[in-house]
Structure formats: structure tokens, C-alpha cells
A = this chain, B = another copy of it.
């Protein structure tokens, strides 16, 4: 008869009694942390089976002062790029035998702070943070508790954490150069909000490339969502009728840009060339397939988990930063202009 107070749930103690061994031995069998005589091991395994024993990690967590879970904090996941990223993180975590807690912030700093505070209380093993508030004190509190934080794609002020960096400036610089090489001169950049770090950096990369060849940048930065792309493209096309190519600063904005194109009956690439930064799945499926410059999202996600796991194993390891570059995925949305 189990003595456990939790309804119909055997404990290690029940198993130990049934197998005629100590709870220490049962624990050793389960964790595999130490050798146990094979006949005792067999008795323990039989007892576990007979009792339908399910280990209770709650107590192990307390004892070990850690949960085998990492947290991923992002704005929202109903953006194909983000869900691809989260998926990659989840897979990598799962392979390392860690669960993944998903937190969304809607890019609202106070929500992010709430989430981070909750993660501290839960003592998650680590957090992958695509932050909207680099200076949040909650980040430091996590670090103070010994919970590693990996900054993903967005800087964090507290420099104790590792980081996965995407080189947006250089990537978009090269993206712009790609258009210039195809003979385009009047190239506009419909970007996301300047308040969002990667979007701001992309704008910088574009401007750099244009200025390097003595051209005036033509930019818009309404918002990082679809509506911003729609509005930005509309205004830009009104003001600059001689544009031959547009760069959409991210996947959401690109959807809006395409909407504007449709409103006006603009055909890609005959009327206007289009290059998208980021490569959501639909860019490879629409007609015409869209040329993109994109980070290797899967690898970005697994890098983050790798950094986290490394620090979990060695909390005092030197601070590390992994940089990923954007890569050209050439498709059919960019026309080559005659000399």
C-alpha cells in the first residue's frame, strides 16, 4: 500500500519498499549516476513497473536547483520567420533533452519584463531572448541568479550573456549592391520601424551601399508589420516615379509591398524589381519567386541553443558571440537592366 499522499501516484519510497532496497538505490537505478548490483537493479525495475511509477521531477528540480527547460522569448510566432526560428530552437533543445517554454511579448517592454520575471521564479535553465528592451533590469536579474541568457538577433545591454548576432548591416549592404550590379540605380528601401533593432540596422546597410556609389537613399520606415510596407511602398511610388527596384526590409513589410503592387497593377520584375530581406517560405512559392537575402534561420536557432548548452556545462566559460551572415537566394524577381 503506497504511503504517498498524492493520489494514485507511487513515489520512490514505494518502489524502494516493494523492491526491498533503500530509496538511494532506487534513485541510483533511475539516474544511472552510480553502479547498482544487477539483481537489485532488476528488483527495482520490476517494482517500478508493477507500481506504474512515474518519476516526479518536481522534487529533483528542487534538489538540483534547476529545471531541464529553456525559455524562448520572442515577439509573436505568427510570423513565418519567427516560427521557423522557434521550431529550430525547440528541436535543438529537445535533442539536448531540454523542454522549451515559449513566451511571447508582442514587442511590449512591460510584457517582456513580466515574462522574464516569471522565468526567474521558475528557475529555467536558460533563456534565448529576442528582446525588445535591451536595458530591461530583469535580464540582469536572471544573470544574477546564474541563469544564462543568450541574446538572439537583438542586443542586450548587460554584457554577461552570450549572443547570436546577425550581420544585417553587411547583409543588406550586399543585397543593395546586388541590385546595383544588375544595373539598377533608382533603388528604394521600404523598411520596418527604426525602433526595432534589426530593421534599423538593415536601413543602415542600405544607405551605406547607396552612398558608396554616390546615390541618394530613398527610404521609408513606417512600421515593421505588413501595413507599414503597404503604406511605405505607396508613398514611395507616388514620390519617386522613376524607381526600378525596391527592397522590402523584412518579410512582413514585403507582404504589404506586394499588396501595394497589386493595388496598382505593378508586375514584378517587368515593371519593378523586388528583393526581400528575410526568406519566409512564401517567397519561394509566389509567382514570380522572389529573390531574397536571408539569415540561415535554422542555424541561427541551433547556435543559440548551443551557446546555452555550452554555458550550462561551463558557467564560467568566456563570453561568446556567434555571427551569421545573410545569404543571397537568387530567384526571379530582379530584372537585369541593360548597361
- Chain A residues engaging chain B, CB cutoff 8 angstroms: 6-9, 52, 54-59, 61-62, 65, 67, 69, 76-78, 80, 83-84, 86-87, 90-91, 94, 99-104, 115, 118, 120-123, 141, 144-146, 255, 258-259, 262, 281-282, 285-287
Q: How many whole Å from A264's CB to the nearest CB in chain B?
A: 12
Query: Is the beta-carbon distance between B83 and A77 smaller than 8 angstroms?
Result: yes
A104's partner among B78, B91, B118, B259 (CB-CB below 8 A) is: B91
Question: Which of chain B's residues has its CB closest to A66's CB?
Answer: B58
Query: Is the beta-carbon distance between A77 and B77 smaller than 8 angstroms?
Result: yes
Query: Is the beta-carbon distance between B58 and A141 smaller than 8 angstroms?
Result: no
What residues of B have a CB within 8 angstroms of the CB of A287 in the complex?
262
> 18 more A-B contacts (CB under 8 A) besides A55-B121, A87-B104, A101-B101?
A7-B146, A52-B144, A54-B120, A56-B123, A58-B61, A58-B67, A62-B62, A69-B101, A77-B87, A78-B80, A78-B87, A78-B281, A80-B83, A86-B102, A90-B104, A94-B115, A100-B101, A102-B102
Selected A-B contacts with CB under 8 Å, 14 pairs: A52-B141, A54-B141, A54-B145, A57-B122, A58-B122, A58-B123, A61-B61, A69-B122, A77-B77, A77-B83, A78-B83, A80-B83, A83-B83, A100-B103
Query: Is the beta-carbon distance between B61 and A62 smaller than 8 angstroms?
Result: yes
What residues of B have a CB within 8 angstroms of the CB of A262 in the complex?
287
Question: Which of chain B's residues has its CB closest to A297's CB?
Answer: B78
5 nearest A-B residue pairs (beta carbon): A83-B83, A102-B102, A58-B62, A57-B121, A62-B62
What residues of B have a CB within 8 angstroms of the CB of A90 in the complex?
77, 102-104
Query: Is the beta-carbon distance between A145 and B9 smaller than 8 angstroms?
Result: yes
Query: A9 CA to B66 CA in the complex, in Å?
Result: 13
Q: How many whole Å from A254's CB to the nearest CB in chain B?
A: 11
What residues of B have a CB within 8 angstroms of the CB of A58 in the complex?
58, 61-62, 65, 67, 122-123
What residues of B have a CB within 8 angstroms of the CB of A145 in the complex?
8-9, 54
Q: Do A285 and B102 contact each other (CB < 8 Å), given the known contacts A6-B65, A123-B56?
A: no
